[in-house]
Structure formats: C-alpha cells, structure tokens
Amino acid sequence: MSKKMGLQKIAVALMVAAGLNACQPPEAEKDCDKIVITPEKVDFLGITDTTHLSAASKRALRWPDELTNEWFGEFEQFYLQGDLAYEEGVVRRDPSALIKVDGKYFVWYSKSVGPTDGFAGDIETEKVFPWDRCDIWYATSEDGITWKEEGMAVARGEKGAYDDRSVFTVEIMEWEGMYYLSYQTVKSPYNVRVKNQVGLAWSDSPHGPWTKSKEPILSPADNGVWAGTEDNRFKVEKKGDFDSHKVHDPCILPYKGKFYLYYKGEQMGEQITFGGRQIRHGVAIADNPKGPYVKSPYNPISNSGHEICVWPHKGGIASLITTDGPEKNTVQWSPDGINFDIIASIPAPPHAIGLDRTKDTEEPFAIFGFGLTHEYVSYDYQCIKGFRGKRKTTHVGKGEAGSTKGSDEK
C-alpha cells in the first residue's frame, strides 16, 4: 500500500470513528444531514470511501437500524375446494379478511355472473368489468380449504340508489359484538368517468341480516376538473387530489380509540409513472364505526400500492404495498397509523390478500402464513384461491450439496 493511500484510509477511519458525515462534493452536504456513519454500518454496507458517497450509499446509510430480513419470505398458492372452487361463468374475487366465529372461518367476496362486455356496448344492460353488477356473498369453512357458500350478504341497491349498479371489494371488521362490512359502490350508468364511493353494512351476526348505510360513508375528492365532455378518464384540466376519481378497497381498523378507514385513491387523469399506475392510499378517521369519517389532512399516506392490506403491528399499523408505484412490494409501518416508512421488501406477494385475522400480528411475517387471494382464470372469470407464506431465512449457492430451495421455516 502506498503512503498516500495509507494516510487516506487512516483519515477515513478517524472520521468514521468520530461519526462525521463526510459527504462530497460540498454542495451535497445538505443531503447528509440525517446520515450517521459508524464503523459497523460501513463494514456491513461495504462502503469503500466515506468521503465519496454515492446516492445509493447515502440511501443505505439512512435505512432504519431495525431493517431486517424478518419479513422476507416466499408464497405458494392453491385452489380451494367445495363451493369456492373455480366455476365457469361465475366471478368470485376480492376476498375479505378471514375471521373465526364458533370454530368456523368466514369470508365475504364480490360475486357476479356472465362475461365482461366492456364499454363498447349498451352500458345500461351490459357488464363493463368483472366487478360490475356484483353483490356481496359469503362462505364458511372449518379448515380454510373446503368452503360452503352460505348465500348473499349485501345486495345492490334499488334503482337510483348510490349503490344500484354494483357492490364489491368488501372488508370485514368485528367490534364489540357487531360486524361491519365496508365495500365499494357504483351508481348507474357505469361509464368511464363514474366516481366510485364506499358503503357500509352492519349486523349483530356474521350471517346477517345486514343493515346498509343510506348514504356512502366516503366519496372521492371534488376538486378535479374534466376536460371536455367525452367519456375519457385521462382528459383533465385539473387532476385534483389523489382520490379525485375513485375511492376503492376500504378497510376499517379500530385503532387508539378511533376507527381508521384505509382506502385506495384513484386520481382523475391518472398517469403511468416510473413505478406503474398512479395509485396511492389514504385514511379517514371516525369516532364511531358508522362514521362520520373525516379524511386525514396528511393524505395521501403512501406513494404506491393497490389493494389495501393493513393490520395492527407493534402498537402501530403495518401495510403491504403491492402492484403499482415506485415502492411496490414493500412492507411499511406507521407508529401513528398515518406516517408510514418502508421496513422491508417482500418478493412477489399475492394480490388482493384476504388476511387471516386470527393469526399473530406481532411476529413479522406470521400474518402471511395463510390467507386468501384471487386468480384471473380468464379476463371474464376469476376465482378465490388460498395462499401459504413461509419465512426465508437462509440462502445457499445453486448446486450446493444438500440444497433444495435454500429456505427454512421459522
């Protein structure tokens, strides 16, 4: 080693030991305000020279200390048996979370029949999406594998009601002996610019009967402006808030004495960005399960995502972000239910997850041990499937002796 290189390494070691943020060039100093350099971090991240930090190294140094592999795992999916097995001509999709009552699993889901016609025909009589002309049904199971379809839980409303076209993408919340179903609604006619809303139904039994809210409990923001009169969702004069077009995938969680309604927002004039579609999440909060729900001024609370998948975890709220946006396929956590940070990357999670809410939510990845998802068998027809998740805690080189999948289960 040359004398010059030796002196440089000594200087770097002294700066690291002193916890100095030696970012270069000088104009980048502001980027280093929150960077703490320690010998342990430098060794773990394999940083060559702390006086020359790349953007990637700066990001890595800002990672939280609790960032671990505890959420890393793999998933397998399987077809269900009984009444939730795939049935040609029938759509069953978007399963709710699973709850257990009197020893049986319960799940609610969107159900419709017949093919999808799109927007080209008569939208008053045809079916524009698989989730169009849906009602909410439910099924029960003793083992989570073989299911009995019990019947319809919540039907579409009468002509002229806010939910007369479709009720779909449902979630369940159990609270103090009552059961609450939150779900998306559409009012006819179902055109491209239609604005989805969120409805609510409640019962003192998971078998119903269900009482529906007379009005939606959540609506899109009313501050976007369409351009022209053509039925085109991408032509806007002003995009408005992240949820100016649609509010989707509602899920209510009791949290800190209040009720947090998490939802997916779609924006008028939604675009494709470097992470996919412009999809973000929001939250509305109420003192009572039936509302009124008030949107948080901090919305949106995510930069990415699709279907809502949230659960209580370590005194806060955890969220699985999938499908769309630059932060897709990450687990995020918030200490207050609003401000979420990335705590893990998770490979290829199932879509439209119905969590098993009987599982432990404190141990990382335990919530993904078993649940439900759905599959597009074709664009016209979907079915509900099961999934299993397993922690992946080790890895080996390909072809090493004794190697199978290179994983084990904790």
| Average confidence (pLDDT) over 292-309 | 97
| Average confidence (pLDDT) over 294-308 | 97
What pLDDT, on the 0 to 100 scale, is given for residue 2?
47
What pLDDT, on the 0 to 100 scale, is given for residue 396?
76
Q: What CA–CA distances, in Å, run from 34 to 5, 16, 58, 83, 333?
A: 28, 15, 9, 55, 20
Phi/psi at 371 (nearest 5 deg)?
Answer: 180, -165
What pLDDT, on the 0 to 100 scale, is given for residue 256?
96
Sketch the domain layout of the chain as residue ranges: 3-62, 73-391
Residue tagged 């040359």 (tokens): 2
What pLDDT, on the 0 to 100 scale, is given for residue 28?
43
Lowest mean pLDDT among 157-166, 268-277, 298-307: 268-277
Mean pLDDT of the chain: 89
| Average confidence (pLDDT) over 25-46 | 71
What pLDDT, on the 0 to 100 scale, is given for residue 383?
98
Here the tokens at position 76 are 């397998």
What pLDDT, on the 0 to 100 scale, is given for residue 26?
41
Phi/psi at 9 (nearest 5 deg)?
Answer: -65, -35
Q: CB-based burial of residue 327 (10 Å sphere; 0-12 exposed, 13-18 middle, 19+ buried)?
A: middle
The answer to whether the beta carbons of residues 249 and 309 sit under 8 Å apart is no
Write out pLDDT tens, residues 302-334.
999 999 999 999 999 999 999 999 999 999 999
Under DSSP, the state recorded for 368 is G
**406/327: higher pLDDT:** 327
Write out pLDDT tens, residues 17-34.
333 344 444 444 444 556
Write out pLDDT tens, residues 65-106.
766 778 889 999 999 999 999 999 999 999 999 999 999 999
pLDDT at 1 over 80: no
pLDDT at 58 over 90: yes
Under DSSP, the state recorded for 77 is E
What pLDDT, on the 0 to 100 scale, is given for residue 404?
42
pLDDT at 195 over 60: yes
For residue 385, the SS3 value is strand
What pLDDT, on the 0 to 100 scale, is given for residue 62?
87
| Average confidence (pLDDT) over 117-135 | 90
For residue 403, the SS3 value is coil
What pLDDT, on the 0 to 100 scale, is given for residue 3?
43
Contacts of 56 (CB under 8 A, 6+ apart): none
Q: CB-based burial of residue 112 (10 Å sphere; 0-12 exposed, 13-18 middle, 19+ buried)?
A: buried
- Overall residue count recorded for the chain in this entry: 410
Query: Superfamily assignment of 73-391 in CATH?
Result: Glycosyl hydrolase domain; family 43 (2.115.10.20)
Whole-model pTM over 0.85: yes
What pLDDT, on the 0 to 100 scale, is given for residue 123?
82
Here the tokens at position 14 are 């002294």
**343/170: higher pLDDT:** 170
What pLDDT, on the 0 to 100 scale, is given for residue 64?
74
What pLDDT, on the 0 to 100 scale, is given for residue 182?
98
Contacts of 249 (CB under 8 A, 6+ apart): 169, 171, 184, 263, 264, 306, 307, 308
pLDDT at 14 over 60: no
Q: Give the CA angle between residues 218, 362, 62 to the nearest 5°.
A: 85
